[in-house]
Amino acid sequence: MIHRSLLLSLLMIPWLAGCDSTPRTASEAASAPRVSAGLPLFDTFGDLHRDVASRVPAAQRYFDQGLRILFREALDLAEAEAQATEAYLDRVAVLQGPLAEAEREHAKRVQELHALAAQSPLAAAGLNDALELEAKRHKEVADAIEASQNPLKLLLEDMRFELDLIGKTNAERAVMVELRRQNIDAMSAEGQAALETVKAFDAEAKAKEAAQ
């Protein structure tokens, strides 16, 4: 693909050949370089215009087209630079905040666990469990930080949790509260297994009461 700067140069060649503000005689105009019919002209780059005082209409068109392409490229470059600057500032804010500190602490702990596992067969055997516990600890810390930075989000989560408790038995409520305290999603396989176990116990207890 031809770069737009190169395309601009190519499209302005006819203007360089045909643009001349010096008056010409008919014979001079007839002997002037002809505009190549092989170079394309487009109507999709706007209507920016600057008079170049050329007697060759095509030269004016090629010049305007090159000017419009250059202007469009400058706008695209300015927009890209603005987006890059915004992304950089956002990244700096994240790297300097408490979440960044939590991420670095988590990475350090994971590295220490791997180093310990490399030195001890016993630690190596329990590495997966240790990493799972560390991941859980890190998520709790990160959630607490995000909640402190966005109290409204925490309030909405509490309200949704209270709504989920409606219609549940006391035993189911107790399990759901404990799952949340352990940072386990009630809709996960583990959470659903715990709730199904509670329902089974409740059904068994009610059956025994009915039999007595």
pLDDT, tens only, 49-91: 888 888 888 888 888 888 888 888 887 887 888 788 777 766 6
Helix (H, G, I), strand (E, B) or coil at 80: helix
Does pTM surpass 0.85? Answer: no
* pLDDT value, residue 24: 47
CA distances from 2 to 36, 136, 166, 176 (A): 19, 52, 65, 62
* pLDDT value, residue 38: 61
pLDDT digits (tens, 9 = 90+) for 104-138: 888 889 998 988 888 888 888 888 999 999 998 98
Percent of the chain's residues with pLDDT above 90: 2
For every residue of 7-54, DSSP letters joined together read HHHHHHHHHHHH---S---HHHHHTSPPPPTTS---S-S---------
